[in-house]
Amino acid sequence: MARAQHPVILTAQDLIEGDAVWWTGTGWSRNLAHALVYNDPAAADAAEARLAAEESRVVGVYRVEVDPAPVPRPILRREAIRADGRPSFAYRPQGAARRAA
């Protein structure tokens, strides 16, 4: 049985800040709501290949399947966490973790 095709957006990591960024069609944005949604797999393939070859500001261009309406929402939990931008727990320095134990 064939897997259902979902619309996709293109994402990468910003080389300077390390943030997740999304392709808007004219540039990269840290705001997922601005992402260009591709319904045509061939168009997504072409854009992904072009961006991976051209871009020097980002690294690791790849596709993310999304539920497109009303704002693109990643289907996979990993990508939803990445899109949120921050972990849901507070980090403690290693020394503080040892003292607490």
pLDDT tens per residue across all 101 residues of the chain: 556 689 999 999 999 988 999 999 999 999 999 999 999 999 999 999 999 998 788 999 999 999 988 889 999 988 988 888 766 666 677 665 555 55
Instruction: Enumerate the β-bridge partners of residue 8.
Output: 38, 65
Range of the domain at 96: 8-100
State residue 50 phi and psi, 5-degree precision.
-65, -45
Residue 1 lies inside a defined structural domain of this protein? no
Residue 78 belongs to a domain: yes
pTM (predicted TM-score): 0.79
Q: How many domains does the chain have?
A: 1
81 belongs to a structural domain: yes
Beta strands in the chain (DSSP E): 8-14, 20-23, 28-29, 58-67, 73-74
Contact by Cβ (8 Å): 72, 37: yes
- Per DSSP, the three-state class of 23 is strand
Pick the closest to residue 32 from 76, 92, 78, 82 (CA basis). Answer: 82
